[in-house]
Amino acid sequence: MAAADLIELWRGGLMESVHRGHAVVWDRGGMVAAWGDADAVIFPRSSCKMLQALPLIESGAADAAGLGTEQLALACASHQGARIHVDRVAAWLDGLGLAEPDLRCGAHMPNDPPENRRLTCSDEAPCQLHNNCSGKHAGFLTWTRHHRAGPDYHEPDHPLQQAVRRVFEEVTDETSPGYGIDGCSAPNFATSVSGLARAMSAFAVAASGEGSGARTAAMRRLTRAMTAHPDLVAGEGRACTELMRAMGGRVAVKTGAEAVFVAIAPDRGLGIALKVADGATRASEAAITALLVRLGLLDAGHPVVGKYLTDPLRNWRGIAVAERRLATGFDA
Amino acid sequence: MAAADLIELWRGGLMESVHRGHAVVWDRGGMVAAWGDADAVIFPRSSCKMLQALPLIESGAADAAGLGTEQLALACASHQGARIHVDRVAAWLDGLGLAEPDLRCGAHMPNDPPENRRLTCSDEAPCQLHNNCSGKHAGFLTWTRHHRAGPDYHEPDHPLQQAVRRVFEEVTDETSPGYGIDGCSAPNFATSVSGLARAMSAFAVAASGEGSGARTAAMRRLTRAMTAHPDLVAGEGRACTELMRAMGGRVAVKTGAEAVFVAIAPDRGLGIALKVADGATRASEAAITALLVRLGLLDAGHPVVGKYLTDPLRNWRGIAVAERRLATGFDA
């Protein structure tokens, strides 16, 4: 089945660009709604960090290291390298007796404007702590140290990544057709859009307080850590942070590279997963915003709905020149 | 007719993202090849600046102001606000007895790394000279001053924009279905992908030395100005500049916002126009590179072909993690 038109960009009364993709809503009863191909195989990229963090908790490594909700939120984060992120990850590694060189995520300039400006204007190079995945990697190191495993925790054949794959396949209830290497050098396992939505619903049910057992407890802790610290999951001005704040901690959302977006709504035991086929973040942000409003999880009148979907787009002189629209079929 | 798959992104042996669009190749004999819908209506955005500059020359305004090839290249440019661009546009306006406040393009931070860093680290705000369209607007002001027309040359009912519309419709050989307001506040007239390709072929034939008359001469001067000054049309590290340099001045190319790309090949009287439906520049750059190589205009072994199409994509640690591929149907 083909991708469905999701988000359109209109200018001067004509459609200028269009984004196609796949979206699935899943709850306790199974698939509630779908657009495009629910079976489309995708790489969740950073949208599945809460899945990659399950072994950290289930193994007892998180508790042995005394991790709190801030570290668990950072383990699920694609942060923008602000001081609130960098300093916490540095302290976390220090508490493990480790340091920045133990990371395997690589370094890149932070997206946080003040920190980016500080590095740019002081000719200081970014370090691996600035990598948006450094929290996930600190979690990987916590598991690795707890299990006295080898230092190259990012290798696909490392026991940590094997554990991640087992958990990923169990929660998505699919055998992963394969993996790709992510921007942070860790393997990223493929699944279907419906498999990812199913997994997000499992996190939602667990976070609602239902069920018991180690996995349910781990899913509950990670979801609640994300909603408790929206600023640590992404950063000021970022969609994940602003959407979670707008929903008052009732819903966890997470973006992934190449236009993946997921949501976890504990009150409804509901999970959402979507992938924009062309990889455009502007469209995945608009599409998740539309679904959150349609499902009654986000107030249509909230300013973030305007920012990510309904406000006109303005040019350099502030003139409204274009608008985003929901494509026919995705609009109801 | 629907858009055709053009460029795919592959990771771990699986297709992660795909870009669809429309592309047309036109020469003296008419349409040579097409992918997607040749009749798709698009906004050319900045890819049609050479069309918007025709009245500047045809009216005699350019010669009255003594404009040289540098100014004509800047009139067709989407520059990145480097000093070589900003200083030349400032001098051009000064020569007209005008200044930055006479522009109507608005200000934005330049993409040129050194100038961007200079402004960022000195807390200096960008001015309208930094706007990537400031050269086009200096051309608009040159026409306006020559005709003693009103200062708001960007208004759709201003005589300049009416002249631009007439020329645009004559060269595309289509009645424009309408216009949108561009990022720089000027109207941008819509046409079909084939109309835009036809127009680029007309510039190519003119630049080849064939024909006579004011329009042919104007098209020839603008095309030759672009190929003579690739650094002024975009800037260091930018696709237009690097592709024109790689083709040794034999072909003019120009990008436009929302993933439009055109090419003018005088030796062959050939024009190319393409639009990626989702607006992704990474895909329009890859697609124009593929077409230039296929048509024998660009050496497949040149490093720019690797940069924009064939080199593997590397992550933060330099590991090759993904690759761009031509979609089936666009690959031969």
**What are A261-300's pLDDT values in tens digits?**
999 999 999 999 999 999 999 999 999 999 999 999 999 9
Indicate the burial class of B313 (C-beta count within 10 angstroms; 0-12, 13-18, 19 or more): middle
Query: Three-state SS for A4?
Result: strand
**Residue B76 CA to chain centroid, in angstroms?**
7
CB B16 within 8 A of CB B10: yes
Across the A:B interface, residue pairs with CB atoms under 8 Å apart total 137
- Cβ atoms within 10 Å, residue A157: 9
**B304 backbone φψ class: left, alpha, beta (φ>0; ψ -120 to 50):** alpha
Whether residue A185 and residue B316 make contact (CB cut-off 8 A), yes or no, is: yes
Got the DSSP string for A10-71? EETTEEEEEEEEEEEEEETTEEEEEES-TT-EE--GGGGHHHHTHHHHHTSHHHHTT--HHH
Average pLDDT, chain A: 98
Whether residue A105 and residue B12 make contact (CB cut-off 8 A), yes or no, is: no
Which token pair is B297? 């205009």
Which token pair is B261? 């790309």
With the CA atoms of B141, B147, B148 and B150 taken in that order, what torsion angle do they form, in degrees rounded to the nearest 10? Answer: -60
Q: How far apart are CA A22 and CA A34, in angstroms?
A: 7
Helices (H), chain B: 49-52, 54-58, 61-64, 69-75, 83-95, 113-122, 134-146, 159-172, 193-207, 214-228, 230-233, 239-246, 281-294, 303-305
- Cβ atoms within 10 Å, residue A231: 18
The pLDDT assigned to B134 comes to: 98
- The DSSP H or E segment spanning A186 is none
Closest-CA distance of chain B to residue A275, Å: 9
Q: What is the mean pLDDT of residues B176-194?
A: 98
pLDDT > 70 in chain B, percent: 100
- What are the CA-CA distances from residue A108 to residues A80, A89, A184, B155, B178 (Å)? 10, 15, 10, 43, 43
pTM of the model: 0.98
Confidence category of residue A316, pLDDT binned at 50, 70, 90 = very high
The pLDDT assigned to A282 comes to: 98
Residue-wise pLDDT for A168-205, tens only, equals 999 999 999 999 999 999 999 999 999 999 999 999 99
Residue-wise pLDDT for A223-257, tens only, equals 999 999 999 999 999 999 999 999 999 999 999 99
Whether residue B185 and residue A106 make contact (CB cut-off 8 A), yes or no, is: no
The pLDDT assigned to B85 comes to: 98
Q: Selecting from 3.30.200, 3.40.710, 3.60.9, 1.10.600, what CATH number does the domain A4-326 have?
A: 3.40.710
Residue A1 reports pLDDT greater than 80: no
Whether residue A43 and residue B13 make contact (CB cut-off 8 A), yes or no, is: no
Residue-wise pLDDT for A105-131, tens only, equals 999 999 999 999 999 999 999 999 999
- Nearest CB to A14; choose among B11, B14, B190: B190
Query: Three-state SS for A115?
Result: helix
- Cβ atoms within 10 Å, residue A53: 31
Q: Give A-chain residues touching B121 at CB under 8 angstroms.
A: 117, 120-121
- Best to test chain B binding among A46, A127, A192, A278 (most B CBs inside 10 Å): A278
Whether residue A259 and residue B17 make contact (CB cut-off 8 A), yes or no, is: yes
Closest-CA distance of chain A to residue B327, Å: 13
CA-wise closest residue to B179 among B189, B192, B171: B189
The pLDDT assigned to B24 comes to: 98
CA-wise closest residue to B17 among A11, A217, A173, A19: A19
Which token pair is A202? 């499992």
Q: How far apart are CA A172 and CA A168, in angstroms?
A: 6
Query: Three-state SS for A112?
Result: coil
- Nearest CB to B181; choose among A12, A42, A181: A12
Q: What is the mean pLDDT of residues B231-235?
A: 98
Whether residue B11 and residue A180 make contact (CB cut-off 8 A), yes or no, is: yes
Residue-wise pLDDT for A69-117, tens only, equals 999 999 999 999 999 999 999 999 999 999 999 999 999 999 999 999 9
Got the DSSP string for B83-106? HHHHHHHHHHHHHTT--GGG--S-
Closest-CA distance of chain B to residue A251, Å: 27
Which token pair is A80? 């923008």
CA-wise closest residue to B231 among B121, B88, B102, B57: B88
Q: Give A-chain residues touching B278 at CB under 8 angstroms.
A: 17-20, 278, 280, 283
The pLDDT assigned to A13 comes to: 97
The pLDDT assigned to B332 comes to: 73
Q: Phi and psi of A17, rounded to 5°?
A: -145, 160
The pLDDT assigned to A79 comes to: 98
Q: How far apart are CA B102 and CA B302, in angstroms?
A: 42
Confidence category of residue B265, pLDDT binned at 50, 70, 90 = very high
CB B289 within 8 A of CB B243: yes
Query: Three-state SS for B264?
Result: strand
- Nearest CB to B17; choose among A9, A179, A279: A279
CB B43 within 8 A of CB B276: no
Whether residue A316 and residue B20 make contact (CB cut-off 8 A), yes or no, is: no
**Distance linking the first and last C-alpha atoms of chain B:** 20
Fill in the amino acid letter for B94. D
pLDDT > 90 in chain B, percent: 99
The pLDDT assigned to B1 comes to: 73
Residue-wise pLDDT for B278-314, tens only, equals 999 999 999 999 999 999 999 999 999 999 999 999 9
DSSP summary character for residue B306: I
